[in-house]
Amino acid sequence: MPEVLAAAIFPSRGAAFGLGEVRPSAPVPGARSSGSVECRHQNQNEEKQILYMTYTMNRRHRSPLGRLGSKPARHHSRLARRLTGAQRHSGPIPGADEILFLPLGGTSRIGMNMALYGHAGKWLIVDAGVAFMGDEAPGIDAIMVDPTFIEERIDDVVGMIVTHAHEDHIGAIHHLWPRLRCPIYATPFAAHVIRERLKEKGSARQVSLRTFGIGENFVLGPFQVESIAMTHSVPEPVALAIRTGVGTVLHTGDWKFDPDPLVGRAADLEALKRLGDEGVLAMMCDSTNAMVEGSTGSEADAREGLIEAFAGRKGVIAITCFASNVARMKAVAEAASINGRRVVLAGRSLLKMEKAARACGYLDGLPEFLSLDAAARTPRRKLVLMCTGSQGEERAALSRIARGEHRSLSFRRGDTVIFSARAIPGNEEAVGEIRRLLEDRGVAVISPADAKVHVSGHPARDDLTRMYELVRPRFAVPVHGTLPHLEAHARLARTCGVERALIPEDGDIIRLAGERTAVIGHIEPRRLAYDGQSLLPWDEIPTDGTQPDENFATQPVLLAA
Ligand SMILES: [Zn+2]
Ligand SMILES: [Zn+2]
């Protein structure tokens, strides 16, 4: 949208979100005030905005989602009840003199990453992931962002870019696409994984899924995007340098600096430095390990640890990690080969990832893995069983084998099980239960606490510092974490010389515009829950922890599974 038109519709955006809603950004010791946070509302358009904000804020909040970004509705609930449908569709229109950043998920709890960038009347979506609920909500497989805010302005959405193929970044795409219907851009590996999901849903033909190469530049509306090679725990992670008329922002995605990632290329430090030389307005950066000292290790370290851990073992070696960690799959295959063993995969998600990895050439040169039938004819001491279930998931291969419920695989005394992944907070109990079950049967269990059989895919503090030294952003916006992660990241960013660090929560609207950079508003981030069949409004799921009952048949189902 031309700037003049945007200004006419939304003449004073900073103030429009003011009444009762604008909160100053996090206090920054020693930093100067932006001077842009004011509480004024002067005209009808602004009142519409306030009504919109109030409407969205009156939604019920639930504790299992962690910090939802809720703000009290205060004295506007009466106005909210007068809302008409048309008014509900009002909202921020990004001007040509600013970039708006709106994290819809990923900044209040780990997972469910989805963010919007707005500029010159247009919006760009980055990622659409899920968060897994575990014991927090029995019967609910995953939750994701309710895309209503995007849907309401879909004509101004130029597309969605995917940073990498992890569930917390792509897991919602096949659920939400029918409501978004915008082009999706991904690297070949991520595109392969997404396409297979869409095929299962029967919607692959309708989706405009386009691939881009790592390091490629492309233009989407007013956004000039450069994809920059990073390293992580999945092939082809990219950072996105998003250039606009008012400056460049860097969306790092998930990353670490791994000089020997085993699959794919190393992070493009040159490109990051060049970007820093050009000048970066703001960096939205991974906070997962912002409380971890030192530097994250390389995938090559995990390979060495696995070679050592495999040596001299007698029975079957079973190893579990995240299915998407293709580098780990490769490391396991190499460690097996060095120790005279063959690899067999157990678990659907591992088989799918193997297919995607082979299609993209990431397992070239490795022997084919054994089928389960062939493994059954192979001596146990010659086998490495790679299986799903590193988080203690009840239906995954590892727990079924451990419980003696797998149709063709079982553990015996003298076998070894290696957890090549850390338990995500919330899953420790389930993992501990599997461990007890295995140890009771005389199976040796090795976890990352016992040996170097796992390295993280996220940057620790020294890596973050190095990133800030390369990119030198004016503003830091920590993402991908809970409040303690984001706060630790913000403190680190300030020591690295950023002018300000703004700590977002899901639904915050951050304006990036030089001196006028500030959190200028908030929309209530609504959620959808997937129960294995349908998407349901999270607000309507019983709070007592019971499974959704038959009453759900009468609830509005937003989208068939
Ligand atoms: Zn992630
Ligand atoms: Zn990731």
Once rounded to an integer, what is the mean pLDDT over residues 408-432?
A: 92
Q: Identify the CA nearest to 65 among candidates 130, 15, 153, 19.
A: 130
- The answer as to whether 480 is a domain residue is yes
381-396 residue pLDDT tens: 999 999 999 999 988 9
Tell me, yes or no, whether 127 and 209 share the same domain.
yes
Residues near ion ligand 1 (CB < 5 Å) are 168, 254
> Which segment of 59-63, 84-88, 298-302, 401-405 scores lowest on mean pLDDT?
59-63
Place 487 in a pLDDT band, splitting at 50, 70 and 90.
very high
Among 413, 446, 479, the domain-final residue is: 446
Identify which ligand lies nearest to the alpha carbon of 322: 2
> For the ranges 7-11, 237-241, 263-267, 389-393, which has the lowest average pLDDT?
7-11
Asked whether residue 123 carries a pLDDT value surpassing 50, the answer given is yes
pLDDT, tens digit, 9 for 90 and up, residues 329-369: 999 999 999 999 999 999 999 999 999 999 999 999 998 99
| Claim to verify: residue 142 and residue 73 sit in the same structural domain | yes
Give the largest CA-CA distance in the chain.
Answer: 79
Q: Contact, 339 vs 314, CB < 8 A?
A: no
424-464 pLDDT, tens digit each: 877 899 999 999 999 999 999 999 999 999 999 999 999 99
What is the model's pLDDT at position 9? Answer: 29
* Distance of CA 261 from the midpoint of ligand 2 (Å): 14
The residue among 327 and 57 whose pLDDT is bigger is: 327
Q: What is the band of 542 on the pLDDT scale with cuts at 50, 70, 90?
A: low
Distance 191 CA to ligand 2 centre (A): 15
More confident site: 178 or 460: 460
Q: Which of 446, 477, 500 is the last residue of a domain?
A: 446
Q: What is the pLDDT of residue 141?
A: 87
Q: What local confidence, expressed as pLDDT, does residue 110 receive? A: 84
For residues 77-91, give the mean pLDDT: 41
- With respect to residue 556, please indicate whether it lies within any of the assigned structural domains: no
For residue 317, the SS3 value is strand
Residues 6+ apart with CB under 8 A from 379: none
Q: 543 falls in which pLDDT band (50, 70, 90)?
A: low
**156: in domain:** yes
**Centre of ligand 1 from the C-alpha of residue 103, in Å:** 13
User: Which residues have a Cβ under 8 Å from the Cβ of 122 and sit 6 or more positions away?
Assistant: 1, 94, 156, 157, 158, 221, 222, 223
Question: CA distances (Å), 494 to each of 27, 257, 266, 424, 462, in order?
Answer: 11, 21, 27, 28, 14
Strand partners, 225: 218, 242
Instruction: Note whether residue 451 is domain-resident.
Output: no
pLDDT of residue 109: 83
C-alpha 494 to ligand 2 mean position (Å):
25
- pLDDT given at position 67: 40
Query: Is 84 a residue whose pLDDT tops 80?
Result: no
Give the distance (Å) from ligand 2 centre to CA of residue 169.
7
On whether the CB atoms of residues 235 and 200 are closer than 8 A, the answer is: no
Residues 71 and 164 in one domain: yes
User: For the ranges 232-241, 298-307, 366-375, which has the lowest average pLDDT?
Assistant: 366-375
Do 282 and 386 reside in the same domain of the chain? no
Q: How many domains is the chain built from?
A: 2
Torsion angles phi and psi, residue 321, rounded to 5: -150, 180
Together in a domain, 147 and 162: yes
Question: Taking 80 as the threshold, does the pLDDT of residue 46 lie above it?
Answer: no
Q: Are 381 and 314 in contact (CB under 8 A)?
A: yes
Domain identity same for 392 and 438? yes
pLDDT higher at 85 or 318: 318
Per 3-state DSSP, the chain is made up of helix, strand and coil in percentages (nearest 5) of: 35, 20, 45
Residue 546 lies in a domain: no
Helix (H) or strand (E) segment spanning residue 243: strand 238-244
d(CA 485, CA 483) in angstroms, rounded, equals: 5
Q: For 493-519, what is each residue's pLDDT tens digit? A: 999 999 999 999 999 999 999 999 999
Query: Same structural domain for residues 424 and 500?
Result: no
337 burial type by CB count under 10 A (0-12 exposed, 13-18 middle, 19+ buried): middle
CATH number at residue 380: 3.40.50.10710
In a domain, 543, yes or no: no
For residue 139, the model assigns a pLDDT of 82
At 70, which CATH number?
3.60.15.10
Same domain for 303 and 289: no
Task: Give the end of a domain, one of 414, 446, 478.
Answer: 446
Band (pLDDT 50/70/90 cuts) for residue 407 is confident
Which ligand ends up closest to the CA of 480? Answer: 1
Cα of 63 vs centre of ligand 2, distance in Å, is 25
**Mean pLDDT of the 166-173 span:** 97
Residue 345 in domain: yes
306 and 356 together in one domain: yes
Same-domain check for residues 392 and 510? no
Quote the CA–CA distance of 106 and 285 in Å, as a whole number.
Answer: 11
**Listed range (83-92, 98-107, 149-158) with the worst mean pLDDT:** 83-92
The more confident residue out of 2 and 421 is 421
Domain of residue 132 covers 3-293+457-537
CB 411 within 8 A of CB 441: yes
> Is the pLDDT confidence value at 43 over 50?
no
Place 133 in a pLDDT band, splitting at 50, 70 and 90: confident
Residue 70, pLDDT above cutoff 60: no
Residues 461 and 350 in one domain: no
pLDDT above 90: percentage of residues in the chain: 72
Distance 54 CA to ligand 1 centre (A): 31
Q: How far is CA 222 from the centre of its chain?
A: 25
Q: Are residues 325 and 283 in the same domain?
A: no
Decide if pLDDT at 25 tops 90.
no
Cα of 367 to ligand 1 centre, how many Å? 30
What is the whole-number distance in angstroms between the Cα of residue 156 and the centre of ligand 1? 26
pLDDT of residue 175: 95
Return the exposure string of 132-160: e unless at least 16 CB atoms fall within 10 Å of the residue's CB, then b. Answer: bbbebbebbebbbbbbebbeebeebbbbb
Q: Is the pLDDT of residue 52 over 70?
A: no
Q: What is the mean pLDDT of the chain?
A: 83
> b vs e for 12-36, b when ≥16 Cβ sit within 10 Å of the residue's Cβ?
bbbbbbbbbbbbebbebeeeeebeb
Return the structure tokens found at 49: 């905005």
Q: How far is the CA of 285 from the centre of ligand 1 (A)?
A: 11
| CA 306–ligand 1 middle distance (angstroms) | 24
Residue 263 is assigned to a structural domain of this protein: yes
Is the pLDDT assigned to residue 116 strictly greater than 60?
yes
